[in-house]
């Protein structure tokens, strides 16, 4: 099979592969998933056909590396995503905790999907509003908290 791709799409693919490889491997200290790395390296090796300028081949290890400017731009995108997902995840986890504490797993399992979502949101929404207005300023962890 052969895939034809424009320069614009190729450059977008390079960005997408950087982001995918980062998401999959950035937290792995040992044994990174080299499937993404291999694909990214292959696509970068084709850069000469697409006038790719922000990548260099390291002769020592035979790998292609993005320049600092490219990495900065990609890491800014990741930071934006992580900032939004932090608040979403915090809201969801706290809402879920309170939802389960208030109603119990058994009762939640018997709810219809729409009821479950509606009721869950009743617990998550106050956190969403609080974090939107105050961030973590009013968030306190208590050492005396009981389950």
pLDDT string in tens for the chain (147-residue length): 888 999 999 999 999 999 999 999 888 877 777 899 999 999 999 999 999 988 999 999 999 999 999 999 999 999 999 999 999 999 999 999 999 999 999 999 999 999 999 999 999 999 999 999 999 999 998 887 666
Task: Please count the structural domains in the chain.
Answer: 2
Cβ burial 90-121 (10 Å sphere, 16+ → b, else e): ebbebbeebbeeebeeeebeeeeeeebeebbe
Is residue 140 in a domain? no
Q: Rounded to two decimals, what is the model's pTM?
A: 0.75
- The CA-to-CA distance between both ends of the chain, in Å, stands at 57
Could you give the count of Cα atoms lying within 13 Å of 33 in the half-sphere of its Cβ?
Answer: 12
> 124 and 83 share a domain?
yes
Is residue 143 in a domain? no
Domain enclosing residue 116, as ranges? 78-134
Is residue 60 in a domain? yes
Task: Map residue 145 onto helix, strand or coil.
Answer: coil
Is residue 71 in a domain? no
Is residue 72 in a domain? no
Q: Which of 28, 44, 66 is the last residue of a domain?
A: 66
């Amino acid at each position: 099979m052969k895939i034809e791709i424009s320069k614009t799409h190729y450059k977008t693919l390079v960005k997408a592969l950087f982001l995918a490889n980062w998401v999959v491997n950035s937290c792995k200290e040992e044994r990174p998933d080299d499937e993404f790395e291999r694909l990214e390296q292959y696509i970068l090796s084709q850069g000469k056909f697409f006038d790719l300028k922000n990548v260099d081949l390291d002769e020592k290890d035979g790998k292609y590396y993005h320049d600092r400017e490219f990495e900065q731009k990609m890491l800014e995108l990741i930071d934006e995503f992580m900032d939004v997902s932090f608040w979403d995840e915090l809201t969801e986890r706290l809402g879920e905790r309170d939802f389960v504490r208030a109603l119990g797993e058994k009762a939640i399992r018997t709810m219809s999907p729409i009821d479950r979502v509606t009721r869950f949101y009743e617990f998550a929404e106050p956190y969403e509003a609080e974090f939107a207005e105050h961030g973590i300023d009013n968030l306190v962890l208590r050492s005396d908290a009981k389950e």
